[in-house]
Amino acid sequence: MTLTPEQEIQGRRNFMKALAGTPALAALGAAAAFKGPVSGGPVRLGHIGVGGQGGFLLTVVDKNYATIKAIADINPGRFAKADENIAKAGHPPAKHYTDWKEMLQKEDIEAVVVAVPLWAHADVVVGCLDAGKHVLCEKMMAWDVAGAERMRDAAKRNKRILEICYQRFYNPMYQAAYDGIIKTGGLGEVYHTRLAWHRNANWRRKGEPPSKDFDASAWGYPTWEHLLNWRLYWKYSQGLFAELASHQLSVVNWFYGAKPEAVLASGSVSRFKDGREVYDHCYATWEYPGGRTAVFSSIESNAFDDYYECYYGTKGTLILKRESEAMLFAEGKEGAAATSLELASKTSAPVLESSETQSPTAAVAQPGSGGTFERRAGNIREIQGFCSAIRVGKPLLVGPDRALESARGCIVANQAVEKKTRLTL
């Protein structure tokens, strides 16, 4: 059984109706308008890594909150597109560096946005923190738990802010869902959550090196292929669990108010037998205190389900889809017809990149239009929140401890696949 368009509309209306008269609805309306400037003036930012996700982040830096002073990337072929993104966001030109350490030495910057390959997160972030910079780092926190702990400890030691890019925590839709439905008990007792991120596409990227004499080995990659497709090799990557599941698992931890105690998982290179090491299909079940579970699947052979999170409670079902659509259905006879879901996107193509981010020019739903929301709102407010934490001490919504537990859950899931057994966390 699938949801009809009429049922989807009703589900969105149910969500907004459930928030009516609550502080969550008022906060949702206020969040749609991004206000500035931040007290104390814009934060002076440097960006390290301006490829796919890093390049996108350049487009969501509110100039009232921050100014982009410099960018660094080991691939100079990315600078032209990065310059375009910076200009479109209304910022003046930024200086270019291939060595991030040189950028820190020469530029008058206060904070750094880090979007480098996962295996380099810990070294780059700790280096920035030790240099006295605040850091906003892309997900997952680090390649291993020890690296994440190094990052957390460096932030404490240097008394600097470290935030991890889980933008759902800054997304008004998720905040309203938590404050107005989850926290108030609107779903009743929630024992099960389904997480899905399905695509019909090859995760492998194609591209030429920036020059004939470009030497990837100078940066720790034996070949250009390893640099271009670092996500496909275990040395640099933790696969689909890190790139996709960690986003959704972090929200389950938030909504459950707990962290997983154990995980069962499986994975395989099922479709694309092209020399990659990481799985193109993977599945996990995380076990939480009180008999609660969260199940995740990510496949690269069918895009029908697209991506969503679905929370099943004794009183109702909450669906959060593509970070831009919220639907709520009552449990029981009235809602029974709407509990089997067709979650294929009707308005846009499935996400094909390893990053969840769409093109900066991609169409997005408008805030407040009956249960649909602007998808980029979380990214914009994430950087605003980071800058506000620097300027006026506003609390972070994620922080190192929350991010570390999401990373731990995904890292141990990969270990469970390898060992073919249930592992405790």
pLDDT at 362: 32
Question: Please, which residues have CB within 8 angstroms of residue 207's CB and are 6 or more apart in sequence?
Answer: 228
**DSSP H or E run through 71:** strand 66-72
Backbone angles phi, psi at 320, to 5 degrees: -115, 110
Beta bridge partners of 190: 313
Distance CA 86, CA 234 (A): 32
Joined together, the tokens standing for residue 112 give 């750094």
Strands 66-72 and 423-424, by their bridges, are: unpaired
Topology given in CATH for the domain delimited by 5-31+169-373+400-424: Dihydrodipicolinate Reductase; domain 2 (3.30.360)
Return the pLDDT at 25: 83
C-alpha 282/C-alpha 260 separation (Å) is 18
Q: Give the pLDDT confidence score for residue 383 in this predicted structure.
A: 96
Alpha carbon distance 157, 78 (integer Å)? 34
- How many CB atoms are located within 10 Å of the residue 48 CB? 28
Rounded to whole angstroms, what are the CA distances from 346 to 349, 356, 386? Answer: 8, 18, 34
Going from N- to C-terminal start, the domains of the chain cover: 5-31+169-373+400-424, 43-167
CA dihedral angle for residue 322, residue 369, residue 53, residue 30, rounded to 10 degrees: -120
- pLDDT confidence of residue 329: 96
Sign of the torsion angle spanned by Cα atoms 125, 126, 131, 133: positive
For position 37, what pLDDT does the model report? 58
* pLDDT at site 148: 98
What is the β-pairing status of strands 423-424 and 325-330? unpaired
Q: Can you tell me the distance from the alpha carbon of 293 to that of 291, in angstroms, rounded to the nearest whole number?
A: 7
Task: Provide Rg for the chain, Cα atoms.
Answer: 21
* Cβ atoms < 10 Å from Cβ of 33: 7
Q: How many residues make up the chain in this entry?
A: 425
pLDDT in tens, the chain (425 residues): 367 889 889 999 999 999 988 888 877 766 655 565 567 899 999 999 999 999 999 999 999 999 999 999 999 999 999 999 999 999 999 999 999 999 999 999 999 999 999 999 999 999 999 999 999 999 999 999 999 999 999 999 999 999 999 999 999 999 999 999 999 999 999 999 999 999 999 999 999 999 999 999 999 999 999 999 999 999 999 999 999 999 999 999 999 999 999 999 999 999 999 999 999 999 999 999 999 999 999 999 999 999 999 999 999 999 999 999 999 999 976 554 444 333 333 333 332 333 444 433 333 333 444 567 888 999 999 999 999 999 999 999 999 999 999 999 999 999 999 999 999 99
Contact 71, 79 (CB under 8 A): yes
Q: Which fold has domain 43-167?
A: Rossmann fold (3.40.50)
> How confident is the model at residue 348, as a pLDDT?
33
Provide the sign of the torsion angle of the four alpha carbons 28, 339, 350, 224, taken in this order: positive
Is 339 in contact with 319 (CB distance < 8 Å)?
no
The pLDDT value given to residue 4: 81
Please tell me the distance from the alpha carbon of residue 43 to that of residue 112, in angstroms, as a whole number: 10
Residue 161: half-sphere exposure toward Cβ, Cα within 13 Å: 24
